[in-house]
Amino acid sequence: MEQRNKTLGEFIIEHQAAFQYSTGELSKLINAIRLAAKVVNHEVNKAGLIDILGAAGDTNIQGEDQQKLDVLANEKFIQTLKNREIVCGIASEEEDDFISINSHDELHQNKYVVLIDPLDGSSNIDVNVSVGTIFSIYRRITPIGTPVTLQDFLQPGVNQVAAGYVVYGTSTMLVYTTGHGVHGFTLNPAIGTFYLSHPNMEFPEKGNIYSINEGNYVHFPQGVKDYIKYCQMEEEDRPYTSRYIGSLVSDFHRNMIKGGIYIYPKSSKASNGKLRLLYECNPMAFLAEQANGRASNGYQRIMEIQPTELHERVPFFCGSRKMVEKAESFMARYPDT
């Protein structure tokens, strides 16, 4: 088992050789995300003391009201990644279009693009509920030395080289994978250092928690309604417990530790669901699969979906493998819904 007093920096250096593109750039990129996360964590923790609660007065590309902390987190992550000169492009859930980045020394020489949801669940900030950051990293597919294009960002999730999230809760944790398992690091706020606290994280094969906004039950597809009824039945190890925080990062994190399924389906109100394929579903799917879990849109593996636009939405079923498979079996009864 990994030494639990190991810092994130030490862990990255020790495991760098296991990464097939071991040039040090990915390690620097993870470190940049770590730095930005510490800055955002500081702002989240003092949210009630300064004027960063509430709506910013603008809407993002999805037509959603931006919270003040959405804007702040977006600026901090973009600024940090730009300043480190280690990525050639950034796409953010809060930006209309992707950002192409030049290196000061050489034009477009960096190899990686980052897609990020800077502050997932930010509407919960005002009521002091956990929120998070989600990130996804790809190698560019257009030639090095040229500006990045939309093609570099519209890659299926199977092409991810790293993904992770930061959860800002009772403790702040950074959880990530580079395709060699999932590891969690907890921030020691006294010295500002992340320490390995959850090595080799895995979903229990089956859990007893289902996470879905049941207030939208009447709008759900029949397969989802049938699965919810299955979860509530008095039989064998059921009924399951319903737990829904409303922050994807928090719901996912709890279910990975305790065992459970998270569902955000399409509905009569949202024909493609609400979650974004590139900023939320792909990175969480990569983490889930690396942690012995499963992720799909109810019919198809999330990471095999070919994106067609930056802010594409998809239904999302994610969590303990047997629970997701059972939910998919209910969806399969209604292939046209």
The annotation status of 122 as a binding-site residue, yes or no, is yes
DSSP string, 123-188: GGGGGT--EEEEEEEEE--SPTTS---HHHH---GGGEEEEEEEEESSSEEEEEESSS--EEEEEE
Average pLDDT of the residues in 31-44: 89
The annotation status of 29 as a binding-site residue, yes or no, is no
Q: Which helix H or strand E contains 117, and what residues bound it?
A: strand 112-120
pLDDT at 278 over 80: yes
Average pLDDT of the chain? 89
Q: Are residues 149 and 274 in the same domain?
A: no
Q: Which of 168, 198, 228 is the last residue of a domain?
A: 198
The annotation status of 5 as a binding-site residue, yes or no, is no
Lowest-confidence region among 10-24, 239-253, 257-271 = 10-24
Q: Which of 198, 233, 264 is the last residue of a domain?
A: 198
Q: What is the pLDDT of residue 2?
A: 47
Q: Which of 150, 178, 198 is the last residue of a domain?
A: 198
**Residue 34 is part of a domain; what is its CATH number?**
3.30.540.10
pLDDT digits (tens, 9 = 90+) for 171-218: 999 999 999 999 999 999 899 999 999 999 999 999 999 999 999 999
pLDDT digits (tens, 9 = 90+) for 55-94: 544 555 555 556 678 888 999 999 999 888 889 999 999 9
The annotation status of 75 as a binding-site residue, yes or no, is no
The annotation status of 213 as a binding-site residue, yes or no, is yes
pLDDT at 23 over 70: no
- Report if residue 246 sits inside a domain: yes
pLDDT at 22 over 60: no
The annotation status of 244 as a binding-site residue, yes or no, is yes
Average pLDDT of the residues in 162-168: 96
Average pLDDT of the residues in 272-292: 97
Domain with 301 in it: 209-331
Lowest-confidence region among 141-145, 207-211, 228-232, 303-307 = 141-145
Q: What is the pLDDT of residue 281?
A: 98
Average pLDDT of the residues in 224-249: 95
Q: What is the rounded CA–CA span in Å between residue 327 and residue 223?
A: 8
Average pLDDT of the residues in 156-165: 97
pLDDT digits (tens, 9 = 90+) for 85-124: 889 999 999 999 999 987 655 566 889 999 999 999 877 7
Q: What is the pLDDT of residue 4?
A: 64
Q: Are residues 194 and 213 in the same domain?
A: no
Using left for φ > 0, alpha for ψ between -120 and 50, and beta otherwise, residue 280 falls in alpha
Average pLDDT of the residues in 25-29: 85
Q: What is the pLDDT of residue 52?
A: 47
Q: What is the rounded CA–CA span in Å between residue 311 and residue 154?
A: 10
Q: Are residues 89 and 118 in the same domain?
A: yes
Q: Provide the percentage of residues in the chain whose pLDDT is more than 90.
A: 70
The annotation status of 2 as a binding-site residue, yes or no, is no
C-beta of residue 287 within 8 angstroms of C-beta of residue 317: no
The annotation status of 136 as a binding-site residue, yes or no, is no
The number of beta carbons lying within 10 Å of the beta carbon of residue 205 is 12
Question: Per the structure, how many domains does the chain have?
Answer: 2
Average pLDDT of the residues in 46-63: 53
The annotation status of 93 as a binding-site residue, yes or no, is yes
Q: Are residues 177 and 286 in the same domain?
A: no
Q: What is the pLDDT of residue 70?
A: 83
Q: Are residues 38 and 85 in the same domain?
A: yes
**Residue 307 is part of a domain; what is its CATH number?**
3.40.190.80
